[in-house]
Amino acid sequence: MSDSSDEQRNSNRLQIDLPIQARMGSGEHIDQEIVDISASGMQVRSTDFEVLKGGFDAQHNEGTFEIRI
C-alpha cells in the first residue's frame, strides 16, 4: 500500500493551468497560474513566493487572496 497523497484525497483535482492575476492581502496584483483545483482547495504557481507569504496562514495551511481571471 502506498502513502501517496494523491491516493488519500477525498475529491478529484481538475488540472487547468489557468493564467491569473492575484493579490495577497493589500499587495499588488501579480501574474500567477492556477495549476489545479478541487472541492477542498487549489494549487497556484508563482515566480514570487515572497508575495504569496504575505497573505498565507501557515498554521492553518490556507491563504486569502483576490483573483483576476
Q: What DSSP assignment string belongs to the chain? A: ----GGGG-SSPPEEEEEEEEEEETTS--EEEEEEEEETTEEEEEES-HHHHHTTEETTTTEE-EEEE-
Output the tens digit of pLDDT for each of the chain's 69 residues: 444 555 566 779 999 989 999 888 777 888 999 999 999 888 888 887 777 666 777 788 777 778 887
Give pLDDT, residue 57: 78
pTM of the model: 0.65
Give pLDDT, residue 33: 93
As a whole number of angstroms, the distance between CA 17 and CA 58 comes to: 24
Give pLDDT, residue 50: 75
Amino acid at 47: T
Strands 30-38 and 65-68: unpaired
Give pLDDT, residue 34: 93
Q: How many CB atoms lie within 10 A of CB 53?
A: 11
